[in-house]
Amino acid sequence: MWTWRLWGSGRSGVDAALTIAALAAVALSRFALLPRGPWEWDETLFARGLLAFDLPSHFPHPPGFPLWMALGWLVRPLVATPLRGLQLLSAAASCLTVFPLAALGRRAAPPAVAATAALAVLAVPGVWLHAGRGFSDTPSAFFALWAAALAVWGLEGRRATAFTLLLAAAFLIRPILLPPLGLLWLAGAATVRPRRRLWPGVGWGALAVVAAIAGLVAVQGSWAQFASAFVAHAETHAVNLVEHNPGGVLDLGIVKGFGGPWLAAGAAALALLGAAVWARRVSRGSAAAWLVILAVTVAQFVWLQNRRFPRYAVPLQEAAAPLLAAAAAAAAPPLVAAGGLAVLGAAWAVDAAPAVLEQHRTELPGWAAVQAAVRDAKATGEALVVEPGLYPFLSYREELDRAAGHPWSFRWYLAPSSPDAKALPDGPFALVTDYPFHYFPALGPGERFPTVSDRLRPLTQGRFLNVLAARNVPLPVRGWWLPERPPGTREKFMWGGRDAEFLIPPLPPGAGLAVDLAPYPGPAPLELLLDGRLALTVPGTAVRATCVVPSHFFTPGRTSRLVFGRAKAYVPGAGDTRALAVQLWGLRLAPR
């Protein structure tokens, strides 16, 4: 089951040396190319949870991932940051996965073919890219595949107990995989005779689950807090699946993770052929179980998770290795089959290497922007305003500094776009946003952070890639719809309703504010109120024009509230039910 002789050579020393060489190459591809910082907020949620566990605030998000968090806590004293510890754990699991994959493949193919198929799948772009990330997908897949290897080789003696405990470990690392893990357990348990040999594993596994839940409840503080976090997360997740989970076959993360539609289609065809070979060489029952488990995992990936995210497909892609080995072994002699799989693995590696290198050498734009903004805020003492999506990165950075004995002296706020925003800055501030289009240009300096290459983009989750950090950006507070851009122009505008409000950052001494606007046509006049004082009145039938709020309305060094007051708003009709009061084209400093 677990042997250094993966290649089936007649000389054990040579076989062990070849195995060590292959494992060293995989380890080098993982540990030498670890990502530079977090590349998704889920990694940050785990790492932040290791510093200050808070399940209702999604540090980490429910269901808590108890064993993954426990492993992170164990390695925490040995690494510089908790994220680095999770990256190292995932990379180690990816390296060791070659053994259960090779063991599975040897059930229907010669050892050299099985080992080559395992190594080839570990070079799949989605598998390699996510191997060193702080996610739970790769470690959970390692334990599940190890359990599957035990099952296909027979669960005699204590293997039945080990089988159940391995699946319990996979579940506690990534609980959302319960459906396929449960099916795998049922398929393996059905082969155990007498049934009582299952009870030790079931007992220890159940005890581990109970202990994990009790530990999470104890860390969280109460059962009520623990349960409420699940309910809130389930509601949000359900809404996101309905509203934000589009995409056809070409958008599926498993397709992008395989390197595109042609490679994905080829891998799927080989896997189906491998299942037929498995049925003939091993048993129809195990082949059917294998296909059902994979089908349920695909269905869960498509309907219960975000189907566009490649990282969710990592267990599926790894599980294809034994079937690829079976298909190759049936199509050609062992040496030719292993050579063909090696060529396939090399093609995957060549396709994946640029993206892996980019992930290793550069930072996710969202994380880079937060890092830069924090450095500037430490130097200037000015406040930060962050979008809710970037808040996990900011919170992780704050906890890292607090743990190092460097608490922040500046304040930070959630952007008004967040339903959890409770306050806004009253002095100079910098905005960090991953939605630059939602804002008008800053009244101070700003920096756009380079996005990722076209090679890497499909393997990301498509978030936090277009980021702006800028000082003194006017903030839409309430009453505004998202910006629109007229066809054929580079300008944009925002529609506002009655009493729509902006937060105006501190202006330079003696500067006024130029407001480019047009009232929605109607008899009611439009009033511009600054901190409750009437600054300007614009007739409701006026055309687009630039109005200037004089400098004496502004308090030096302080933010101001600009309200577009109107007694009545107007509904355009023709399917547009918005009640519109003002069309705002921009805010900028007026000449002194």
Q: Which residues pair with 528 in a beta bridge?
A: 536, 564
573-588 per-position pLDDT tens digit: 988 999 999 999 999 9
Q: Is residue 1's pLDDT more than 70?
A: no
Share the mean pLDDT of the chain.
94
Q: Find the angle CA(441)-CA(445)-CA(446) to the nearest 5 degrees.
A: 70
Which uninterrupted H or E stretch holds 138? Answer: helix 137-153
109-156 per-position pLDDT tens digit: 999 999 999 999 999 999 999 999 999 999 999 999 999 999 999 999
Q: Is residue 108's pLDDT more than 70?
A: yes
More confident residue, 449 or 444: 449
Give the Cα separation of 216 and 463 in Å (integer): 29
For residue 246, the tally of other CB atoms under 10 A from its CB is 8
Residue of 297, 312, 295 lying closest to 126 (CA atoms) = 312
Residue of 558, 455, 541 lying closest to 503 (CA atoms) = 558
- Non-local (6+) Cβ contacts of 456 within 8 A are 354, 355, 358, 359
Q: What is the pLDDT of residue 58?
A: 83
| pTM confidence score | 0.94
Banded model confidence at residue 263, pLDDT cuts 50, 70, 90: very high
Give the Cα separation of 512 and 592 in Å (integer): 7
Using a pLDDT cut of 70, give the percent of the chain over it. 99
- 328 in Cβ contact with 117 (< 8 Å): yes
Q: What mean pLDDT comes out for the span 4-32?
A: 91
Q: What mean pLDDT comes out for the span 498-504?
A: 97
CA 244 to chain centre: 14
CATH 2.60.120.260 location in the chain? 475-592
What class has domain 475-592?
mainly beta
Q: Is residue 242's pLDDT more than 80?
A: no
Q: What is the pLDDT of residue 491?
A: 93
Q: What is the pLDDT of residue 236?
A: 78
Q: What mean pLDDT comes out for the span 395-423?
A: 95
